[in-house]
């Protein structure tokens, strides 16, 4: 057990993290199996790849064919005048880094040098007025504007459409990284949207507060990106998802500055706040947000537990959510992920090995565990010493009633320290030809077991159909009143008979399709982007899509703001828009409501034969 330290994040604070253009994290940081003796045999057994063999590294940056940027002189001048020439860049590295996020498709294509539609210019405004100036200049030039936070999204939320002929401006919000004010009475803080997780927490921690939002991408993602994708963090069970944490917003839009006041609740018609949440840069650029903050907890502990089966662990998580304890983390891995976690453990000392063997023997002989079916869980507690003690007791009773047991704080501490390193493993596997990715969803407690069975069953069936070696594993990562998030990780060794990305796409699509077929959502916290757009209508129904389309097209008729994301990928043909009368200085005069029909631009229906008369209804 350890107490939260105010300097917890100091080690990873960077103002502008130097993200790799081809992978996760900083150049010079990489995953290694050298200290994990069980990983090589595990991967060999399940994916038929020997990770000791050196793989295929990405191309060198110098080998990339970076196309020339196209920025009209008037726009270039206006941007330089607004920001200073030092904050306007068409450098190849800047353009490549800002072109995409970090989805598997993004990384594979980057590594191969398939760069797609790069932004022509990357700008780094230093405040809200400069963001507005960039937007004004870009709209006046009919350019495309794509807000960029940390570039960590994995849903294709950043890449400009391949067919885009207009100038593409990437607005990097990284200089807007300050906590502007804290209201201790309201327990809220106003924070600039470009603040990365570590910088944001460090500023809050220094004054005794925390936001409590810790996605696994924490080190490389920003407040604005979290808001624009409806992110969720490891401790969201206690603090809430970013959608719950966000009260007020300031957004630079084509109609002027949108201001959502940070009131605790409101009855002002459909929620504009909610419209901005998850809008992926399609309605404007979030410049700052007022978010809930909490006093740093006196105590913070993550305990490890083992359950005999997946069914028992799901039942325990459901009962914990229904009970009166409110742990900060509820996470449990299925047997496949539990085995993977054990395989990535560092080499242990002889004493640790003995202890671990004694525990396994106890579980098998005394508790009747099948070690292959066992599930590893982490449950976190935060607050005063008294509160933590009482919650541990209450949760402990539920765990025991489902046949589980606590294995102490060391596994939880290790998990807590290492969680931000785990993403590096994807690049390590890609180097060796293995494609690994994630798909996550949320479903009611009553459907969770079936969603899990359907998805894992479908993934394994697809591995067999494709003739690839594959592995699929899952954990429950966030619990709610009515259900939970299931987070699936899968990896395949491509067959060599087809394009590897095509085989990957078959697996990914099968999993996504199984989500919606099983009554679950297309994504719990990774947004829609382009990669999930195909399933939107099945998730929110056709009228739902029509509403979203009407909002986006009605508010941004020129499709200047991050076009192609969320719904556009579904449109049969592009809609011609009028760019006249851009009015950034006053009320939204140019924003006129358009009917859904106008947006969909449906062709005239062909004349139909007269319908058959309907039979009379049966009484």
Ligand X SMILES: Cc1cc2nc3c(=O)[nH]c(=O)nc-3n(C[C@H](O)[C@H](O)[C@H](O)COP(=O)(O)OP(=O)(O)OC[C@H]3O[C@@H](n4cnc5c(N)ncnc54)[C@H](O)[C@@H]3O)c2cc1C
Residue 156 sits in the site that holds ligand X (CB under 6 A): no
Radius of gyration for the chain, computed over Cα atoms and rounded to the nearest angstrom: 25
CB 478 within 8 A of CB 484: yes
| Shortest distance in whole angstroms from residue 377 CB to ligand X | 18
Q: Which stretch binds ligand X (CB under 6 A): 10-18, 211-219, 267-275, 533-541?
A: 211-219
Interacting residue with ligand X among 188, 203, 222, 530 (CB under 6 A): 222
CB 437 within 8 A of CB 490: yes
Q: Which stretch binds ligand X (CB under 6 A): 261-269, 327-335, 519-527, 534-542?
A: 519-527
Residue 281 sits in the site that holds ligand X (CB under 6 A): yes
CB 47 within 8 A of CB 493: yes
Residue 235 sits in the site that holds ligand X (CB under 6 A): no
Residue 182 sits in the site that holds ligand X (CB under 6 A): no
Through-space distance between the first and last CA atoms of the chain, rounded to whole angstroms: 69
Nearer to ligand X, 97 or 388 (CB): 97
Distances 475 to 305, 310, 319, 346, 388 between C-alpha atoms, Å: 14, 10, 17, 21, 24
Pattern of binders to ligand X over 567-586, x per CB under 6 A? --------------------
The runs of H, that is alpha helices, within 473-606 are 500-517, 536-540, 542-555, 596-600
Task: State how far Cα 604 lies from the chain centre.
Answer: 40
Query: What's the angle, vertex CA 231, arms to CA 229 and CA 234, rounded to 5?
Result: 165
Q: Quote helix, strand, coil % in the chain, to nearest 5.
A: 40, 20, 45
Pattern of binders to ligand X over 310-339, x per CB under 6 A? ------------------------------
Residue 275 sits in the site that holds ligand X (CB under 6 A): no
150 burial (CB, 10 Å; 0-12 / 13-18 / 19+) is buried
Interacting residue with ligand X among 212, 215, 254, 383 (CB under 6 A): 215
Instruction: DSSP for 288-299, please give it.
Output: EEEEE-EEPPSE
Interacting residue with ligand X among 110, 188, 232, 309 (CB under 6 A): 232
Residue 226 sits in the site that holds ligand X (CB under 6 A): yes
- Spatial distance between the Cα atoms of 201 and 206, rounded to a whole number of angstroms: 8
Residues, the chain, total?
619
Query: What's the angle, vertex CA 554, arms to CA 553 and CA 559, rounded to 5?
Result: 35
- Spatial distance between the Cα atoms of 67 and 168, rounded to a whole number of angstroms: 13
Q: Which of 239, 305, 381, 487 is catalytic?
A: 487
Residue 231 sits in the site that holds ligand X (CB under 6 A): yes
Interacting residue with ligand X among 285, 430, 511, 545 (CB under 6 A): 285
CB 461 within 8 A of CB 509: no
| Shortest distance in whole angstroms from residue 427 CB to ligand X | 10
Residue 493 sits in the site that holds ligand X (CB under 6 A): no
Residue 172 sits in the site that holds ligand X (CB under 6 A): no
Residue 147 sits in the site that holds ligand X (CB under 6 A): yes
CB 136 within 8 A of CB 77: no
Residues 6+ apart with CB under 8 A from 306: 363, 369, 374, 375, 376, 377, 404, 405, 407
Q: Which stretch binds ligand X (CB under 6 A): 3-11, 215-223, 410-418, 496-504?
A: 215-223
Q: Which stretch binds ligand X (CB under 6 A): 43-51, 388-396, 520-528, 574-582?
A: 520-528
Nearer to ligand X, 242 or 472 (CB): 242
Residue 149 sits in the site that holds ligand X (CB under 6 A): yes
Strand order in the sheet with 168-172: 88-89, 121-123, 168-172, 144-148
Residue 250 sits in the site that holds ligand X (CB under 6 A): no
461 burial (CB, 10 Å; 0-12 / 13-18 / 19+) is exposed
Residue 150 sits in the site that holds ligand X (CB under 6 A): yes
Binders of ligand X: how many residues, by CB under 6 A? 38
362: annotated active-site residue? no
* Residue sitting closest to ligand X (CB): 225
Nearer to ligand X, 146 or 388 (CB): 146
Task: State how far Cα 509 lies from the chain centre.
Answer: 18
Near ligand X in 536-565, by CB under 6 A: 562, 565
Nearer to ligand X, 174 or 404 (CB): 174
Nearer to ligand X, 106 or 334 (CB): 106
Pattern of binders to ligand X over 427-446, x per CB under 6 A? --------------------
Interacting residue with ligand X among 153, 203, 377, 456 (CB under 6 A): 153
- Return the active site residues: 487
Residues in contact with ligand X by CB under 6 A are: 24, 101-102, 146-154, 157-158, 173, 193, 215-217, 221-222, 224-226, 228-229, 231-232, 280-281, 285-286, 423, 525-527, 562, 565
């Amino acid at each position: 057990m350890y107490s939260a330290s105010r300097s917890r994040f100091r080690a990873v604070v960077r103002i502008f993290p130097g993200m790799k253009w081809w992978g996760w994290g900083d150049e010079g940081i990489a995953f290694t199996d050298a200290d994990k003796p069980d990983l090589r045999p595990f991967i060999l057994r399940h994916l038929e790849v020997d990770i000791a063999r050196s793989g295929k590294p990405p191309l060198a940056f110098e080998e990339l064919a970076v196309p020339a940027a196209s920025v009209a002189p008037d726009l270039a001048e206006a941007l330089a005048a607004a920001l200073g020439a030092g904050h306007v860049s068409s450098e190849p590295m800047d353009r490549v880094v800002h072109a995409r996020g970090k989805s598997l498709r993004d990384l594979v294509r980057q590594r191969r040098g398939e760069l797609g539609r790069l932004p022509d210019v990357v700008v780094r405004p230093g405040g809200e007025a400069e963001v507005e100036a960039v937007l004004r200049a870009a709209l006046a030039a009919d350019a495309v504007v794509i807000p960029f936070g940390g570039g960590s999204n994995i849903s294709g939320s950043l890449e400009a459409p391949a067919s885009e002929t207009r100038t593409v401006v990437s607005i990097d919000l990284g200089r807007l990284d300050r906590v502007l004010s804290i209201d201790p009475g309201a327990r809220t803080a106003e924070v600039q949207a470009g603040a990365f997780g570590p910088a944001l927490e460090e500023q809050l921690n220094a004054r005794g507060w925390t936001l409590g939002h810790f996605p696994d991408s924490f080190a490389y993602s920003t407040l604005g990106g979290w808001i624009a994708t409806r992110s969720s963090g490891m401790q969201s069970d206690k603090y809430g998802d970013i959608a719950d944490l966000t009260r007020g917003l300031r957004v630079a839009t084509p109609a002027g500055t949108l201001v959502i006041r940070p009131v605790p609740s409101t009855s002002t018609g459909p929620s504009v706040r909610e419209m901005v949440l998850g809008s992926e840069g399609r309605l404007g650029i979030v410049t700052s947000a007022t978010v809930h903050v909490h006093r740093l907890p006196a105590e913070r502990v993550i305990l490890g537990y083992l359950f005999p089966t997946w069914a028992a662990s799901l039942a325990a998580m459901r009962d914990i959510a229904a009970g009166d304890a409110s742990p900060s983390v509820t996470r449990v891995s299925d047997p496949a992920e539990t085995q993977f976690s054990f395989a990535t453990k560092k080499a242990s000392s002889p004493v640790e090995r003995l202890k671990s063997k004694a525990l396994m023997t106890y579980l098998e002989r005394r508790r009747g565990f099948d070690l292959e079916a066992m599930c590893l869980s982490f449950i976190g507690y935060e607050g005063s010493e008294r509160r933590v003690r009482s919650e541990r007791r209450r949760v402990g009773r539920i765990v025991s009633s489902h046949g589980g047991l606590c294995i102490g704080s060391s596994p939880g501490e290790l998990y807590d320290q290492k969680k931000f390193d785990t993403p590096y493993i994807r690049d390590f596997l890609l180097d060796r030809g293995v494609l690994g990715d994630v798909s996550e969803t949320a479903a009611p407690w009553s459907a969770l077991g079936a969603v899990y069975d359907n998805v894992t069953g479908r993934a394994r069936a697809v591995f067999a159909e494709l003739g690839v070696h594959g592995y699929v594993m899952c954990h429950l990562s966030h619990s709610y009143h009515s259900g939970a998030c299931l987070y699936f990780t899968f990896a395949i060794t491509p067959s060599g008979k087809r394009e590897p990305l095509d085989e990957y796409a078959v697996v990914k699509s099968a999993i996504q399709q199984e989500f919606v077929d099983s009554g679950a959502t297309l994504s719990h916290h990774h947004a829609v982007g382009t990669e999930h757009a195909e399933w939107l209508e099945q998730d929110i129904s056709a009228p739902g899509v029509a509403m979203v389309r009407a909002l986006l097209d009605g508010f941004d008729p020129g499709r200047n703001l991050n076009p192609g994301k969320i719904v556009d990928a579904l449109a049969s043909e592009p809609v011609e828009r009028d760019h006249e009368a851009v009015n950034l200085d006053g009320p939204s005069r140019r924003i006129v409501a358009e009917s859904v029909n106008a947006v969909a631009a449906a062709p005239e229906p062909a004349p139909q034969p007269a319908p058959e008369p309907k039979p009379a209804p049966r009484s």
